[in-house]
Amino acid sequence: MTDCIFCKIARHEIPAKVVYEDDDLIAFHDIAPAAPVHLLVIPKQHIESLAGVTEEHQALLGKMLVLAPKLAAEFGAGNGFKTLFNTGKDGGQVVFHLHMHIIGGPRPWSNAQLVG
């Protein structure tokens, strides 16, 4: 998708505070953090949402989940964090490109408004 904001980030067409990148994934700071640590991990391949994944995406999703605790620890959420996939409009998804939130860090922080 040429107009997808996350595709543009993955192609480095718009800036982001990138914290990790390889051939398949890119991770960056959320622009509206809900907690002291709030990162997004996205595949470079455009997949609209978790509802759009198939068996061919198993390794990619596994890679995303394996990366989550590493990034959480690196950025200060080693004592606990959430992973979250908002899926579809009714699931709170705002950007229709598959993405995983890594949310954590020292409390207190609000659990409200975890959309994206």
Cα distance between residue 56 and residue 89, in whole Å = 24
Active site residue 97: no
Angle among Cα 90, 91, 95 to the nearest 5 degrees reads 100
CB proximity list for 59: less than 8 A, separation 6 or greater: none
DSSP letter, residue 75? T
Among residues 102, 111, 110, the alpha carbon closest in space to that of 37 is found at 102
Choosing from 38, 97, 99, 101, which is the catalytic residue? 99
Cβ(83)–Cβ(66) below 8 Å:
no
Task: Count Cα neighbours of 27 within 13 Å in the Cβ-side half-sphere.
Answer: 23
Which positions are catalytic? 99
